[in-house]
């Protein structure tokens, strides 16, 4: 991997991670377009680990932008802020379904769904889903704009968490499922977006740590041990690419998140539905004319 490629992948990760368009889908297609992860099973495993680990940059961006909320969560854990403690429990309740299902299905999903055709299908279905939710919101506007985070209930958090599990299928988008889930259970746009970001910090941190720490089986025995994913990625691509990719993800995520919050409050989700359908159709055409493998 060249430095410019790690920058491109970092920017793609940062821009798309918190938009409802699927960062994983974009990264898988971009890697194949640049010939990354296409030479061998070892190269593919390293590329998958790289795509997940540069999420660290996007996580740092959200922590910085929502630092006051992070401080409130920490004060809650120390027993100094009851609202902060409640939000901690809401985030944990939202994370629990993904933790359980992720442990059970992670390997199967990577083996069967990390391919272009399933991603195209998920893009299109997700796009149709966004348009359906947008239409439903217009017909059923939330009272007074919806509830804020302080009004969340455990049931609302669990429903959002269950919907987040659907996003384990690449091309679906974690942000899509959690933001739409928040809107469907009655949160305001601002609260749904913020909860999606905060839940994403925990979920993405866990996914990044898991891929870095996990063993990589079926390849060189050197990677079939703790931190096998990190060792494999560093061996194949080097530390410089990981650092540069993460920095690019951090900067682009900060810009993307600030833009998204402002945009959604004024315009809603519909444009992302049209975008997903267009991208899914385009990549499907490229598969049909054999530019991309299915």
- pLDDT by residue (tens digit) across 133-148? 888 877 876 666 688 8
Report in angstroms the alpha-carbon separations of 174 from 21, 36, 159: 9, 24, 14
Distance of CA 150 to the CA centre of its chain: 24
> What's the DSSP call for residue 187?
B
pLDDT at 214 over 80: no
User: What confidence tens digit (pLDDT) does each residue in 55-114 have?
Assistant: 889 999 989 999 999 999 999 999 899 999 999 999 999 999 988 887 777 777 777 667
pLDDT category of residue 158 using cuts at 50, 70 and 90: very high
Specify the pLDDT at position 114.
73
Residue 171's region, left for phi above 0, alpha for psi from -120 to 50, else beta, is left
- Residues 198/164, Cβ–Cβ less than 8 Å: no
Residue 2, token pair as written in the block:
């060249």
pLDDT value, residue 90:
95
Per-residue H/E/C for 232-253: HHHHHHCHHHHHHHHHHHHHHH
262: three-class secondary structure by DSSP: helix
DSSP run (H or E) holding 190: helix 189-213
User: Does residue 193 register a pLDDT over 80?
Assistant: yes
Mean pLDDT of 150-176: 89
Which span out of 32-36, 37-41, 106-110, 272-276 was modeled with the highest average pLDDT?
272-276
Q: Is the pLDDT of residue 260 over 90?
A: no
Q: Is 78 helix (H, G, I), strand (E, B) or coil?
A: coil
What H or E segment, with its residue span, contains residue 192? helix 189-213
Banded model confidence at residue 263, pLDDT cuts 50, 70, 90: confident
Lowest mean pLDDT among 24-28, 88-92, 156-160, 215-219: 215-219
Domain limits of the chain? 3-288
Interval 204-224 mean pLDDT: 71
DSSP string, 124-171: HHHHHHHHHHHHHHHHSPPGGG-B-GGG--HHHHHHHHHHHHHTTSTT
Q: What is the DSSP letter of 260?
A: H
Residue in the block written with tokens 């499907």: 284
Stretch 148-154: mean pLDDT, rounded? 91
Gyration radius of the chain over CA positions: 19
């Amino acid at each position: 991997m060249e430095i410019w490629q790690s920058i491109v992948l970092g920017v793609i990760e940062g821009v798309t991670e918190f938009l409802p368009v699927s960062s994983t889908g974009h990264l898988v297609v971009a890697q194949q377009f640049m010939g990354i992860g296409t030479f061998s099973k070892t190269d593919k495993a390293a590329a998958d680990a790289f795509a997940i680990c540069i999420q660290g940059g996007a996580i740092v961006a959200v922590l910085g932008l929502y630092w006051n909320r992070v401080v409130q969560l920490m004060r809650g854990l120390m027993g100094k802020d009851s609202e902060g403690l409640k939000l901690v429990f809401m985030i944990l309740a939202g994370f629990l379904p993904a933790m359980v299902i992720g442990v059970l299905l992670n390997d199967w999903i990577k083996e069967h769904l990390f391919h272009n055709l399933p991603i195209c299908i998920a893009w299109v279905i997700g796009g149709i889903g966004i348009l359906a939710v947008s239409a439903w919101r217009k017909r059923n506007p939330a009272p007074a704009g919806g509830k804020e985070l302080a009004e969340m209930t455990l049931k609302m958090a669990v429903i959002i968490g269950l919907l987040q599990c659907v996003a384990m299928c690449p091309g679906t988008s974690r942000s899509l499922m959690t933001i739409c889930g928040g809107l469907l259970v009655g949160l305001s746009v601002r609260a749904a977006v913020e909860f999606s970001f905060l839940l994403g910090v925990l979920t993405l941190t866990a996914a990044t740590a898991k891929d870095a720490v996990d063993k990589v089986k079926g390849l060189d025995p050197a990677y079939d041990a703790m931190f096998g994913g990190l060792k494999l990625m560093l061996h194949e691509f080097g530390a410089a690419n990981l650092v540069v990719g993460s920095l690019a993800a951090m900067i682009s995520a900060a810009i993307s998140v600030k833009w998204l919050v402002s945009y959604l409050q004024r315009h809603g989700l519909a444009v992302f539905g049209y975008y997903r359908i267009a991208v899914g159709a385009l990549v499907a055409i490229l598969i049909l004319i054999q530019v991309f493998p299915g």
